[in-house]
Amino acid sequence: MTTNATHAGLLHTTWGTLSSHYRRHPGQLAMLLLGLWVASALWSGVQAINASARDSYARAESLFSAQLDSVVRRDNQPLSLDAYLTLRRAGMPVSPLVEGEMTIDDGTHLRVIGIDPLTLPGESSLARQQSDAAALRDWILPPHRARIAPEQVEAARDDSRLPPLETDPSLPPGTLITDIGVAQQLLGVDTLSRLVVAPGQSLDLPPSLVRQSAAALASPGQLTDSFHLNLTAMGLLALIVGLFIVHAALGLALEQRLGMLRTLRALGVPGRTLVIALALELLAIGLLGAVLGIVSGVGLARLLLPDVAASLDALYDTDVASHLALPWYYWLGGLAVTLGGLFSAGLGMLWRAARLDILALGKAQAWRARLHRQLRLQALAGAVLLAVAAWLGWRLGNRPNPQELALGFAMVAALLLGASLWLPPLLAGGLGQLSRQLRSRPRLQWALADLQLQLPRLQLPMMALLLALSANLGVGSMVGGFRLTFLDWLDQRLLADMYVRPTEAQHADVIAWLENRDEVRVILEARHAEAPRLDAEGQATGQPLALFGITPAAVMQRNWPLLETATGRMAAWQALSAGNGIFINEQLAHRDGLAPGDTLYLRGPQGPVTLAIVAVYPDYGNPSGEAVLSASYLAERFTASPGSLGVVLRPDATRDVADLQAALGERFGLSGDAAVDQRAVKRTATEVFERTFAITQALNVLTLAVAGLALLTTLLAQAGARRAQLAPLWALGVSRQQLIGLQFGQLVSAATGTALLAIPLGLGLAWALVAVINVAAFGWRLPLHIFPDQIAMTLLLAMLVAALAALLPTWRLWRVPPRQLLQEFSAA
């Protein structure tokens, strides 16, 4: 008991003595907490967004409508009640469904789904819930019942149009489910959106109806995986950069406390007690940093989530709640990652404390020998990592696939870490070389020698700066290249000035009417169908393939982008026009290993169809494999119903889109989405694009800011020691202005050296993103673009960050009275 009490007292006094360092140097504690806070906040923020989105996906996937096959009209028009009754009378177990959007009193949009619980297939979760007779009666008899997602229940409660509400946490955000009659009333329709049927249930449908398999639709989770992976990667980068600050702060605190640790050991504190006290100190700081970080991360996520939700909705048509839903493991995970990161950054400190040589008390530090040994080790470890990155790059660059996405990220991590480890040896080598050449200029030579002396402390913030600069350049190049390619591709693909979507009944009339208009040059007819894939023996291979019909007019042949062809562009178009060639998108080619010259086997309504793949075309942003045929051939062989019409106007009439829209509205009642100006489509697509990368770029800027902070905090933390080193120079006759100039010059030069390494690293990262990560994640490859202005910007940013970071310490040096410099000179 006494022994335990004595040990507790010993630990308490040791901990108190150790922490007294931070009381005297609160800046260092602030730096430590700042690094931890930033790392934890950015990581937690990204994870909060991911967790929230995944919760929404899980709820969407659990919805019965996502689990059942659908029956729709080929022309995508609503179904009549008669069509449903005909199928039921023929003994087909289909159930009617009405879907639509309504706006409730406070402006909230609700996705209303109307079901018939009596015919809804029994496998669905909702059908199971309604199996209770009382619940069923409440559901189908007035005043009826509606189930609603918890997020909207409060807003919806006051809307008198809605039946009594029951909260259902399993529903996706913004969803309300009620009886089909109530839904029709709420939506103001008397038709059905689609019919649903249990998967595997066979149906003998008339030709006007088509079955869509639930399994053929990619789940939102699958579609958005790559998006969230990108976010996670950026969060991880921010975490690593933040941990660099933590590592730098801990290293500095240890270095400054080495004397204290040795004194404590000499006064009788066992090594184990010292390590426990340091670990407890880490734990306390870690818990504080983690709590601050997670709370800020949740705030950050709350700020970004509406934008992310809008992007995901626009990109993948997924409903993500615009407010956070965080599971318990999110909090635990955030805490574990922060503490894990802190302990991995502090492991070196604990190791050094455990192996502390007490007899080194008062011995001068052989810093040069130690630094050289450390630099050699770093160069060796960096070389190994870069070799691993090069090998992975060679392997994945040839043919990356989705299974190797993790390897792609491992390659990026090895590349970044390897290059960071090489930075200090390269800087030291460069400084040594320059120093030898500047013997005749003593002040510059001193500045270089002094910079070498600072290298052990500056290396971590410089490594963080390198990572942030290269990520900035790499991601900037990727996004810039993507923007160029995407906008170019949009121009090529959206050839028509206007897109018209008539009903099947109006289709022929609209074409005839348009053909008679003077301002119309060409009408590009599009169709859509699905066909099961077959193997060479004629056996079904699984998922049906989406087929699109296009009109191979001259304007289309000139502009439609092709990546690869079997025997040239002209021959490819001839084969497509003749109906014996098919174009496939890059995603399908990549996923199934298909190339021009291969054959595609499909089952059409009239039997198997064999088509030669004559070209591969880019299809940016599309997650699925698709193929393109001539529209007339698609109509003939796959009974594809009419789709949209692209209207190309005469060059002198392109300003007449609004007039044509008005005329179509007047003549056929086509307005809104049924007659769209191409410029509006492009504008929307570009907006979606910009919003998608807005978050990536925001995180990028934050990472750069964190690296700048790392540099600033390191400079502030060592400002006192620096003054003691500068004081002798001042005493030797170098003015304070010159000292400040030297300090500024030192830091800006080191940052410029770092930026020079960041340029090849950033370009390597851009290549990895477009040629490996993008192909593995999305299935399409982007051309690598190099932007000289971004490279110049990287150099400027490095200098700016260094200059900003140096501003405060040099200003403080400027304000130091000569008396204090004199005292520091005496102490030195």
Partner 1 sequence: MLQLTNLTKTYPTPQGPLHVLDGVDLRLAAGESLALMGESGSGKSTLLHLAAGLDTPDRGDVVFEGQSVSALSEPRRAALRRQRLGLVFQQFHLVPSLSVADNLTLQARLAGRADTRWTQHLLARLGLAGLNDRYPEQLSGGQQQRLAIGRALAAKPRLLLADEPTGNLDEAAADQVLELLRELIEESGCALLMVTHSARVAAPLDRCVHLQRGRLAEAGP
In terms of CB distance, is 12 or 370 closer to partner 1? 12
Provide the minimum distance between the beta carbon of 39 and partner 1 in the complex, in angstroms, as a whole number: 26
Q: Could you say which residues in the range 615-644 bind partner 1, by CB under 8 A?
A: none
The residue type of 127 is A
Provide the minimum distance between the beta carbon of 10 and partner 1 in the complex, in angstroms, as a whole number: 6
Residue among 141, 267, 303, 406 that touches partner 1 (CB under 8 A): 267
In terms of CB distance, is 22 or 633 closer to partner 1? 22
CA distances in angstroms from 513 to 48, 509, 647, 779, listed in the order given: 54, 6, 12, 41
Whole-angstrom distance, CA of residue 210 vs CA of residue 73: 6
In terms of CB distance, is 269 or 635 closer to partner 1? 269
Q: Name the E strands within 125-174.
A: 146-148, 165-167
Q: What are phi and psi of 655, to 5 degrees?
A: -80, -5
In terms of CB distance, is 359 or 570 closer to partner 1? 359
Provide the minimum distance between the beta carbon of 727 and partner 1 in the complex, in angstroms, as a whole number: 15
From 15-23, 31-39, 64-72, 656-664, span contacting partner 1 (CB under 8 A): 15-23
**Hey, what's the torsion of the CAs at 199, 205, 207, 208, to 10 degrees?**
-80
599 binds partner 1 (CB under 8 A): no
Per the CB < 8 A criterion, the answer to whether 283 and 19 are in contact is: no
Per the CB < 8 A criterion, the answer to whether 289 and 36 are in contact is: yes
Q: How do strand 165-167 and strand 175-179 relate by DSSP bridges?
A: unpaired
Provide the minimum distance between the beta carbon of 269 and partner 1 in the complex, in angstroms, as a whole number: 6
Residue among 74, 111, 211, 262 that touches partner 1 (CB under 8 A): 262
In terms of CB distance, is 20 or 222 closer to partner 1? 20
Per the CB < 8 A criterion, the answer to whether 612 and 580 are in contact is: yes
Q: How do strand 95-103 and strand 194-197 relate by DSSP bridges?
A: antiparallel
From 2-10, 489-497, 562-570, 739-747, span contacting partner 1 (CB under 8 A): 2-10
C-alpha R_g of the chain: 33
In terms of CB distance, is 536 or 827 closer to partner 1? 827
| Chain centroid to CA 505 | 43
723 binds partner 1 (CB under 8 A): no
Query: 427, 425, 420, 426: which is closest to 468 by C-alpha?
Result: 420
Q: Which two tokens stand for residue 260?
A: 């204290």
In terms of CB distance, is 274 or 773 closer to partner 1? 274
Per the CB < 8 A criterion, the answer to whether 159 and 104 are in contact is: yes
Q: What are phi and psi of 121, to 5 degrees?
A: -55, 140
Binding mask 317-346 for partner 1 (x = CB under 8 A): ------------------------------
In terms of CB distance, is 262 or 723 closer to partner 1? 262
38 binds partner 1 (CB under 8 A): no
Per the CB < 8 A criterion, the answer to whether 22 and 253 are in contact is: yes
Residue among 198, 269, 305, 699 that touches partner 1 (CB under 8 A): 269
From 7-15, 100-108, 210-218, 691-699, span contacting partner 1 (CB under 8 A): 7-15
For 78, other C-beta atoms within 10 Å of its C-beta total 16
Query: 494, 481, 428: which is closest to 455 by C-alpha?
Result: 428
Whole-angstrom distance, CA of residue 98 vs CA of residue 115: 7
In terms of CB distance, is 352 or 785 closer to partner 1? 352
Provide the minimum distance between the beta carbon of 364 and partner 1 in the complex, in angstroms, as a whole number: 11
Per the CB < 8 A criterion, the answer to whether 716 and 809 are in contact is: yes
Residue among 129, 170, 208, 263 that touches partner 1 (CB under 8 A): 263
14 binds partner 1 (CB under 8 A): yes
Say how many residues make up the chain: 828
With helix as H, strand as E and coil as C, how does 386-414 read?
HHHHHHHHHHHHHCCCHHHHHHHHHHHHH
In terms of CB distance, is 359 or 808 closer to partner 1? 359
Residue among 141, 215, 260, 808 that touches partner 1 (CB under 8 A): 260
The residue type of 723 is R
Whole-angstrom distance, CA of residue 221 vs CA of residue 656: 43
Helix (H, G, I), strand (E, B) or coil at 715: helix
In terms of CB distance, is 15 or 778 closer to partner 1? 15
Bridge partners (DSSP) listed for residue 196: 70, 95
Provide the minimum distance between the beta carbon of 355 and partner 1 in the complex, in angstroms, as a whole number: 12
Residue among 1, 4, 24, 364 that touches partner 1 (CB under 8 A): 24
Q: Could you say which residues in the range 341-400 bind partner 1, by CB under 8 A?
A: 358-359, 361-362
Whole-angstrom distance, CA of residue 505 vs CA of residue 316: 30
In terms of CB distance, is 362 or 651 closer to partner 1? 362
From 9-17, 580-588, 739-747, 759-767, span contacting partner 1 (CB under 8 A): 9-17
From 17-25, 278-286, 534-542, 772-780, span contacting partner 1 (CB under 8 A): 17-25
Residue among 150, 271, 402, 579 that touches partner 1 (CB under 8 A): 271
Provide the minimum distance between the beta carbon of 343 and partner 1 in the complex, in angstroms, as a whole number: 24
Residue among 215, 266, 336, 384 that touches partner 1 (CB under 8 A): 266
Query: 292, 31, 234: which is closest to 703 by C-alpha?
Result: 234
265 binds partner 1 (CB under 8 A): yes
Provide the minimum distance between the beta carbon of 23 and partner 1 in the complex, in angstroms, as a whole number: 6
Q: Count the residues of the shown chain that bind partner 1, applying the rule CB under 8 A.
A: 30
Burial class from Cβ neighbours inside 10 Å (0-12, 13-18, 19+) for residue 789 reads: exposed
In terms of CB distance, is 141 or 359 closer to partner 1? 359
Residue 825 exposure: Cα atoms within 13 Å on the Cβ side: 15
Interacting residues with partner 1 (CB under 8 A): 5-6, 9-10, 13-14, 17, 20-21, 23-25, 259-260, 262-273, 358-359, 361-362
